[in-house]
Amino acid sequence: MKEQVFDPVRKKWIVLTPEEDVRQQLIGYLSNNLGYPLSRMVCEYSVVINGLKYRGDLVILDKELSPFFLAECKAPSVRIGRETFEQILRYNCALNVRCLLLTNGKTTYFAVQDQLSGNYDYYTEIPSYNELFK
């Protein structure tokens, strides 16, 4: 039997792949260290682009329960480069969230879109849940 991990967001046991391990570490960090409520997290969030269905790895909902934060998790062996950035930006064309996070567990990029200019501001650290709503 394959190794499994309990996912506190989906409230069920999930096969522990390298990508899933990165997602579970991210969920734990966001929840335990930065105050992101598990009740506002959605794993495998459905995204439709040009009639095709995709799934965002982790979406966090705001206080109105609208998506505001999209995280894409890759296995540690996957290099984060142009292709992975294009994937998260493509998903965001459908979701139109303010915050984007891309990680392989070793390297993490976090950006917030400026609502006036549309440009992204990159952060060296992920802000807490409350900081994003000041």
How many domains does the chain fold into? 1
pLDDT band of 28, cuts 50, 70, 90: very high
Tokens matching residue 2: 């394959």
Tell me the pLDDT tens digit for each residue of 73-118.
999 999 999 999 888 988 888 898 999 999 999 999 999 988 888 8
Q: Which domain holds residue 93?
A: 4-133
Task: Let me know: does 38 contact 91? Beta carbons within 8 Å.
Answer: no
pLDDT in tens, 41-71: 999 998 888 888 888 999 999 989 999 999 9
CATH number of the domain enclosing 26:
3.90.1570.30
